[in-house]
């Protein structure tokens, strides 16, 4: 198979173009919501939401069949977003509380589907998705929900940024912390719902976490973060889909589409990270010193670890 | 030993290890880190199964690599520990799924990694988790004071003339060992419940750290036994049942603390200044 056919020709096939459309929509999400997740440090909450949606999917499917999936997932996601927002504002050991909420919800989901006949298949579909077998009918739904989530985040963008950089100052200036957090968490939850029934929760988590982190490595300019994250996500999705197609068709090894795209995301991150380290080393300020004045986001005494 | 007795012994040992190490994880606020380890060891387990090596060995090798990657990423300017954990988590999971697709003839099915299969635990698994329990208890007995000092007051610990990294490394190694040994019981996705929930519950109710370290393993072992019995009585999967019981203990502790909160000693200190009032 020629490179040209792998990179461009493949998308003449309807299932490949559908996957690309879905991924490009998620790239826009990565460009806005992913960057906000990174700036606000909401990676663990995003992970929690992807797990918490599972019981909604399972109960929705048991109660209402295929159409029940999205309804159940939406209900579960909104409940989980509210609970996680309240829990993380309570402040007391919030990371343990998030872990307990997410595994508790996930366990309920597993118990519900474990009664069904194809338990393993359903679990794997939820985790790793079916990027290459998205129905034509679910594409408009995915696009609508992504647009809604983007509108929510875009409408509150200045408040979100203010709160990310100066939580106390923003509160004093009249930004309502609970409402602001709730809007962002609900928009993350909507994206998770839209994506988890199509591309799988692993891929949506990668979309929310990796491009924002790449953008932070590339630039220190706030406004540049958003287009860089979106462009990285779009490029990595395209490459990932092409590689998956090329290997599956050309070499006859059946690669799962979603996992291949995630692997390309993470490989891209590794490349950018190495590049950043080399550039920094050349400038003689490679790695921050041992914990001294470490900013809050560098977290947990990581400075002391290798010091 | 029948398979059920073996499973009972296994959950008691694994629950105790998870609770003990979980108190370190919770107090050091390393839950997302532990979560990333549980997910990231998935490719190691798949690779070990493919090579015919014991699964815990593969998971242990993977966790050493992942700890290195996370330490590197978390020290990079503008990245941090949350990003490091997120990257390792998604990357590890994708790699595990890819390995599974590339090696279709694996002797073990994917979902037993993901949600555990305690009823098929072998004598070798028992030996591994028993060994881990001994190591963890020995580490707490030998370095308990230093571990807790460095947990609660890292700056003070360094000012007192100790170096930070030996205890950090020890803590990370214990967390990795607990994650690896808890995989057979509850699997990669739910292991974090058995690690975080008992310790978080103990932390809510116990007055001192010593009590947390004593009680968390008991709650962990009790969650394991209760979950296993529930799974047998009601014919449901054991991993999620164990995880749910552990979460139930946390909810009970939360409710109990809510009742106890009316005690005057634990009332909030009133706001002193306008500045603090705004900060709230």
Give chain B's mean pLDDT.
81
Chain B contact for A47 (CB, 8 A cutoff): yes
- Please check the confidence at residue A123 and state whether its pLDDT lies above 80: no
Phi, psi values for residue B61, rounded to 5°: -60, -45
**Min Cα–Cα distance to chain B from A28, Å:** 19
Q: What is the pLDDT of residues B178-187, one digit of tens each?
A: 888 887 777 7
Query: How confident is the model over A90-98, as a mean pLDDT?
Result: 67
Chain A contact for B252 (CB, 8 A cutoff): no
Q: What is the pLDDT of residue A231?
A: 93
Token pair 């370095």: residue: B143
Chain A contact for B249 (CB, 8 A cutoff): no
B196: nearest CA partner in chain A: A96
Alpha-carbon gap, residue A227 to A222, rounded angstroms:
10
The DSSP result for A15-78, as a single string, is HHHHHHHHHHHHHHHIIIIIHHHHHHT-HHHHHHHHHHHHHHHHHHHHHHHHHHHHHHHHHHHH
- Chain B residues 35-54 within an 8 A CB cutoff of chain A: 35
Chain A contact for B188 (CB, 8 A cutoff): no
- Please check the confidence at residue A39 and state whether its pLDDT lies above 80: yes
- Chain B residues 206-235 within an 8 A CB cutoff of chain A: none
- Beta carbons of A47 and B250 less than 8 Å apart: no
- Please check the confidence at residue B272 and state whether its pLDDT lies above 80: no
- pTM value? 0.80
- Closest C-alpha among B115, B209, B39 to residue A120: B115
Q: What is the pLDDT of residues B53-109, one digit of tens each?
A: 777 788 888 888 888 888 888 777 778 778 888 888 888 888 888 888 787 776 666
Which residue would you say has higher pLDDT here, A91 or B73?
B73
- Nearest CB to A304 within list B33, B77, B164: B164
Q: What is the pLDDT of residue B217?
A: 93
CB A53 within 8 A of CB A77: yes
CB-CB neighbors (< 8 A) of A258 in chain B: 94, 97
Chain B contact for A34 (CB, 8 A cutoff): no
Alpha-carbon gap, residue A210 to A235, rounded angstroms:
13
A258: nearest CA partner in chain B: B94
Chain B contact for A298 (CB, 8 A cutoff): yes
- Nearest CB to A263 within list B98, B114, B169: B98
A275 token code pair: 């590049």
SS3 at position B272: coil
Percent of chain A with pLDDT over 70: 84
- Closest C-alpha among A70, A86, A80, A77 to residue A101: A80
- Closest C-alpha among A229, A175, A203, A293 to residue A39: A229
3-state DSSP helix/strand/coil percent for chain B, to nearest 5? 85, 0, 15
B3 Ramachandran zone, left/alpha/beta (phi>0; psi -120 to 50)? alpha
Question: What CATH number should be reported for the domain holding residue B135?
Answer: 1.10.3470.10
- Closest C-alpha among A89, A296, A105 to residue A185: A89
- The number of domains in chain B is 1
Full domain range(s) for residue B23 = 3-279
- Closest C-alpha among A225, A227, A252, A255 to residue A240: A255
CB A234 within 8 A of CB A24: yes
- Closest C-alpha among A237, A281, A246 to residue A18: A237
Give chain A's mean pLDDT.
79
- Closest C-alpha among A239, A249, A245, A246 to residue A257: A245
| Range from A14-18, A92-96, A174-178 carrying the lowest mean pLDDT | A92-96
- Beta carbons of A209 and B93 less than 8 Å apart: no
Among A34-38, A48-52, A102-106, B38-42, top mean pLDDT goes to A34-38
């Amino acid at each position: 198979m020629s490179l040209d056919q792998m990179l461009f020709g493949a998308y003449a096939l309807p299932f490949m173009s559908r996957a690309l459309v879905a991924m490009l929509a998620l790239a826009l999400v990565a460009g806005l919501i992913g960057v906000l997740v990174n700036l606000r440090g909401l990676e663990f909450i995003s992970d929690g939401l992807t797990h918490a949606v599972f019981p909604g999917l399972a109960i929705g499917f048991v109660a209402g069949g295929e159409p029940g999936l999205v309804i159940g997932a939406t209900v579960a996601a909104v409940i989980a977003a509210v609970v996680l927002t309240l829990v993380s504002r309570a402040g007391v050991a919030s990371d343990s509380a998030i872990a307990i909420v997410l595994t508790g919800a996930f366990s309920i989901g597993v118990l519900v589907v474990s009664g069904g006949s194809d338990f393993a298949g359903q679990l794997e579909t939820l985790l790793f998705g079916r990027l290459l077998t998205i129905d034509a009918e679910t594409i408009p739904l995915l696009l609508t929900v992504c647009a809604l989530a983007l509108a929510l985040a875009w409408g509150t963008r200045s408040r979100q940024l203010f709160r990310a950089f100066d939580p106390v100052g923003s509160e004093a200036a009249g930004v309502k912390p609970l409402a602001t957090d709730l809007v962002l968490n609900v928009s993350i939850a909507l994206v998770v719902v839209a994506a988890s029934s199509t591309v799988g929760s692993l891929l949506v988590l990668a979309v929310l976490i990796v491009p924002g982190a790449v953008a932070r490595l590339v630039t220190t300019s706030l406004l540049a973060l958003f287009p860089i994250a979106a462009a990285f996500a779009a490029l990595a999705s395209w490459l990932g889909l092409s590689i998956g197609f090329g290997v599956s068709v050309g070499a006859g090894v059946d690669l799962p589409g979603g996992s291949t795209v995630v692997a390309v995301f993470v490989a891209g991150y590794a490349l950018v990270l190495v590049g950043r380290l080399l550039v920094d080393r050349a400038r003689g300020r490679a790695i921050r010193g041992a914990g001294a004045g470490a900013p809050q986001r560098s977290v947990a005494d990581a400075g002391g670890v290798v010091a | 030993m029948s398979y059920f007795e073996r499973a009972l012994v296994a959950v008691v040992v694994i629950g105790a290890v998870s609770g003990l190490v979980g108190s370190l994880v919770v107090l050091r606020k390393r839950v997302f880190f532990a979560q990333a380890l549980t997910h990231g060891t998935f490719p190691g387990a798949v690779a070990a199964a493919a090579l015919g090596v014991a699964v815990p060995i593969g998971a242990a090798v993977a966790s050493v690599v992942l700890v290195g990657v996370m330490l590197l990423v978390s020290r990079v300017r503008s990245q941090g520990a949350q990003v490091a954990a997120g990257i390792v988590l998604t990357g590890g999971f994708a790699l595990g799924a890819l390995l599974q697709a590339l090696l279709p003839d694996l002797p073990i099915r994917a979902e037993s990694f993901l949600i555990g299969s305690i009823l098929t635990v072998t004598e070798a698994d028992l030996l591994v988790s028993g060994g881990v329990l001994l190591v963890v208890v020995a580490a707490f007995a030998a370095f308990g004071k230093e571990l807790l000092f460095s947990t609660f007051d890292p700056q003070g610990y360094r000012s007192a003339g100790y170096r930070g990294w030996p205890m950090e490394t020890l803590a990370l190694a214990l967390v990795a060992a607990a994650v690896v040994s808890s995989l057979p019981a509850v699997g990669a996705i739910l292991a974090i419940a058995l690690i975080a929930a008992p310790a978080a519950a103990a932390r809510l109710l116990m007055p001192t750290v010593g009590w947390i370290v004593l009680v968390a393993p008991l709650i962990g072992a009790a969650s394991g036994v209760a979950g296993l019995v529930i799974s047998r009585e009601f014919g449901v999967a054991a991993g999620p049942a164990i995880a749910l019981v552990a979460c139930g203990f946390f909810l009970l502790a939360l409710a109990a603390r809510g009742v106890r909160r009316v005690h005057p000693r634990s009332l909030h200190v009133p706001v002193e200044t306008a500045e603090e009032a705004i900060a709230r």
